[in-house]
Amino acid sequence: MHDIKLVDVEHTLNVSETDCLWGKAALKIREALRLSQDASDVGEAELLEDVRQSLFKENLCVDPKICARTVLFFPYQRTTEVSDNLHLYDYPINEKCSPGMEDIERYDPVFILRFSIDTLSIGYIEPVEFASLGLLAVAFVSMSSADLGMRKLGYETLEIYLDALESCRKNKHVTGLRLLLMYVQNGVEEPWQRIPTVSAIFAAEASLILLDPSHEHYVPINKLLKSSSTLKLRGIPLFHDFFWSSTVNFRSQRFWELRLVCAGLKSDEDAQIYIRNSILETVMSFSSSPLADDETKGLILQVVRKSVKFHKMARHLVENCGLFSWCSAFISTFTTKPTGDEDLRLVVILEVITDVLASRNVTEWLQRCGLEGLMEISSRLYRLLGGGLVSVQENGTSVDLILQILSATLKISQKRKMYQPHFTITIEGIFQLFEGVANSGSPQVEASSEHGLITILMSSPPVDIIDMDVDKLRRFLLWATSTALKSDHKRVSKPSETHQDSKKLTEEPQEETMVAKFLRWLLASVILGKLYSKSNHSDPTVLSKTKSETLLNSLEYFKKRNLEDSMKNSEHIIGEVIVYLQKHLLCTNYGVLLPSVVFALSLMLLHNDLGTEDPNDDYKLIKSLCSKISSPLEANPGWRWSYFQAWWDLSSEQATDLENIDELHACQHLLLIFSDMLGETPGESQQVLLRKDFDISHVLEWERSLVET
């Protein structure tokens, strides 16, 4: 490139003078050739050629380490068309292959293969030296490329190399290399065939091992080449011999085979070979053996990590290999706070699980018949997070992955049939999750807080939230409310609803905010807690016998069972939060929540006062309003919680516009009453009910917007 920049139009440039070398080596060889040519006669071409060959060997700048990295991290996305069209190499030489690894420096295989063809053709490099530099290994691994042009370059290199071996004087290195090439050649069944990656990498590794008779794997590989003349492309060479070795070098042979298995998994075709030969079952079962040390377990974990990237293998691992039980056993080993390598290993395990759950086929299978294994994992992970063994500050990545897995488990659980086992989190577990993701005010906690709230809202509403410790309840509700508000604040602002669209207030919103989801969850917790919790001596079969049509019917049913005479402090706190959230949503399309809001507030605020026979009782006004409000959806026996959208009773008849107006008017009226009750001291709450001049101008405006068409 330096010469190209300096050349002028009057001079020609012969790039071949550099003999395909690059960098400083190219400049040195050109300068040396000029000096040699000046010192010799013009007719001494043969002498000059010897000088060129000598200079080439002295300045050969191929790095065996970079060749090895090119083999292990071969750029399979590389195609020959890029360089053929004189475009720049799109894939940088320094490329990060995975998070946490250093930059990987490797050769462009298109260039290095063409370099190999040229140097072998002119005889400037000996076959044994060619193999020792790792150039033969690059040629072998190029045979597994999906690009036809790349494979053609590899096959051409190997053809020229085999001819060079035939003309080379015989020695022990040449014999072994010739056997290796014939071994691979006999396994190829069609021109330019793409061979499995694991076979190509085995040949690449063997090309280097055969140059060193003292290598511990030299004897078994040499024995294989002599005893078997054909590379079996549907298997993994020496897998069973090395993995279950009983020789002195059994550990190193097993570890070498695991490295081969890990590096050889690059495509769906490779994955099919692993499935057919039960490779994953073998290595996973061995990880629980006493013979498996930490280094071996770590490598097996990397093999599994790569395997779940392929959908077919991910499903195979889940359905046939007991992947979730295997991961659960791994997680059970973490009894103290994971640090250093332990934390990295935990991250890999969690990444395996999240990758598996990203497959739709796997989640559908789990939903049908296999959720129990994932539920066991989620329970262990919940204890890790809730028990303080992992924290946002020290194990931020692990916490995020744990929340993803818990959310996915709860999501699948929500879609299961009612008679199937479901994954739930208790109120104590919910509070522990809250403490695990919101125990400090650091910036990195904010994202985890939002994800933690989503996970909590994915779980079924807890029926015993009212019985929660008042201090814990106050902290949890404050955190959840602020997190939901922050989440909605970060959303892209949308145009406010027009006057023409305000008639849609009773319809389901198209996109529910986090505040609305949290309010739905909190309302369901209160209603279900009052109707079904053990403290209220509930009979879960009562509501299934009779379906309440109005809010008043539901309250009458509750009045017969309620044994408490006064409101708890926890109920007062929850009531204040409900009113605050509903007021926040008043200007949005969430009128559908109002019946549930007033029902939940009625359950917590009215108690046994409802239905008294005192003719002067001002609760008659409340009874009249309740009779205009339909029974909330949560009181329906078929109701089920869903994070993604509110449940709808499709069996009920749709109310008329006039009935909707009356219901919304009554809901707003009751909401004002309950707001006053929550804002006053208990002794003054009765006086509040005597006020007749409610400010309901906004309710009337709402009513007018509904009747306008």
Residues 439 and 455 in one domain: yes
Among the residue ranges 396-400, 410-414, 698-702, the one predicted with the least confidence is: 698-702
DSSP 117-128: HHHHHHT-S-HH
Give the model's pLDDT for residue 635: 77
Inter-CA distances, 377 with 36, 140, 385, Å:
73, 42, 12
**Using an 8 Å Cβ cutoff, are 317 and 307 in contact?**
yes
Among the residue ranges 414-418, 565-569, 600-604, 669-673, the one predicted with the least confidence is: 565-569
Give the confidence band of 445 by pLDDT, cuts at 50, 70, 90: low
First to last CA, the chain: 75
Among the residue ranges 81-90, 484-493, 558-567, 642-651, the one predicted with the least confidence is: 81-90
Phi/psi of residue 94, nearest 5 degrees: -90, 115
Residues 21 and 114 in one domain: no
Give the confidence band of 536 by pLDDT, cuts at 50, 70, 90: low
**Quick check: is 374 in a domain?**
yes
Give the confidence band of 224 by pLDDT, cuts at 50, 70, 90: very high
**Quick check: is 473 in a domain?**
no
Give the confidence band of 99 by pLDDT, cuts at 50, 70, 90: very low
What pTM, to 2 d.p., does this model score?
0.78
Phi/psi of residue 104, nearest 5 degrees: -100, 115
Percent over 70 (pLDDT), the chain: 71
Q: Does 214 have pLDDT greater than 80?
A: yes
**Helices 341-357 and 396-414, packing angle to 10 deg:** 30
Residues 115 and 16 in one domain: no
Sequence length of the chain is 709
Q: Does 160 have pLDDT greater than 90?
A: yes
More confident of the two residues 381 and 675: 381
Domain end marker among 254, 288, 322 = 288
Residues 454 and 319 in one domain: yes
**Quick check: is 494 in a domain?**
no
Residues 616 and 703 in one domain: yes
In the structure, how many helices (H) and strands (E) does the chain have? 35, 2
Structural tokens at position 315: 């499903």
**Helices 294-307 and 250-263, packing angle to 10 deg:** 20
Give the confidence band of 227 by pLDDT, cuts at 50, 70, 90: very high
Q: In angstroms, how far is CA 111 from the centroid of its own chain?
A: 36
Residues 253 and 380 in one domain: no
Residues 530 and 589 in one domain: yes
Residues 255 and 322 in one domain: no
* Residues 623, 587: Cα–Cα separation, whole Å: 27
Give the model's pLDDT for residue 501: 40
Domain end marker among 16, 43, 59 = 59
Residues 313 and 414 in one domain: yes
**Quick check: is 386 in a domain?**
yes
Residues 177 and 113 in one domain: yes
Among the residue ranges 152-161, 479-488, 586-595, the one predicted with the least confidence is: 586-595
**Quick check: is 84 in a domain?**
yes
Which pLDDT tens digit goes with each residue over 494-530? 444 433 443 333 344 457 889 999 999 999 999 888 8
Among the residue ranges 67-71, 150-154, 340-344, 461-465, the one predicted with the least confidence is: 340-344
Helix (H) or strand (E) holding 95: strand 94-95
Q: Does 278 have pLDDT greater than 50?
A: yes
Q: Which of 38-42, 79-83, 639-643, 657-661 has the highest mean pLDDT?
A: 639-643
Phi/psi of residue 95, nearest 5 degrees: -140, 130
For residue 434, count CB atoms less than 10 angstroms from its CB and return exposed for 0-12, middle for 13-18, buried for 19 or more: buried
Give the model's pLDDT for residue 37: 54
Residues ≥6 apart with Cβ < 8 Å to 264: 196, 197, 198, 199, 200, 201, 202, 236, 270
Which pLDDT tens digit goes with each residue over 243-274? 998 888 899 999 999 999 999 999 999 999 99
Give the confidence band of 488 by pLDDT, cuts at 50, 70, 90: confident
Give the chain's domain count.
Answer: 5
Residues 262 and 370 in one domain: no
**Using an 8 Å Cβ cutoff, are 396 and 446 in contact?**
no
Q: Are strands 104-105 and 94-95 parallel, antiparallel or unpaired?
A: antiparallel
Domain end marker among 460, 494, 519 = 460
For residue 399, count CB atoms less than 10 angstroms from its CB and return exposed for 0-12, middle for 13-18, buried for 19 or more: buried
More confident of the two residues 691 and 430: 430
Give the model's pLDDT for residue 119: 86
**Quick check: is 369 in a domain?**
yes
Residues 515 and 613 in one domain: yes
Give the model's pLDDT for residue 24: 60
Which pLDDT tens digit goes with each residue over 339-362? 778 888 999 999 999 999 999 999
Q: Does 554 have pLDDT greater than 50?
A: yes
Report CA dihedral (37, 39, 41, 46) to the nearest 10 degrees.
Answer: -60
Q: Does 645 have pLDDT greater than 80?
A: yes
Inter-CA distances, 302 with 339, 666, 696, Å:
19, 62, 65
**Quick check: is 488 in a domain?**
no
Range of the domain at 157: 62-230
**Quick check: is 298 in a domain?**
no
Give the model's pLDDT for residue 436: 82
Q: What is the 8-class DSSP label of residue 61?
A: -
Can you tell me whether residue 315 is helix, strand or coil? helix
Residues ≥6 apart with Cβ < 8 Å to 682: 567
**Using an 8 Å Cβ cutoff, are 520 and 642 in contact?**
no
Angle at 472 between CA 466 and CA 476, to 5 degrees: 85
Give the model's pLDDT for residue 42: 46
**Using an 8 Å Cβ cutoff, are 413 and 422 in contact?**
yes
Averaged pLDDT for residues 97-109: 65
**Using an 8 Å Cβ cutoff, are 434 and 501 in contact?**
no
Q: In angstroms, how far is CA 581 from the centroid of its own chain?
A: 33
Give the model's pLDDT for residue 508: 42
Q: Does 591 have pLDDT greater than 60?
A: no
* Residues 266, 284: Cα–Cα separation, whole Å: 19
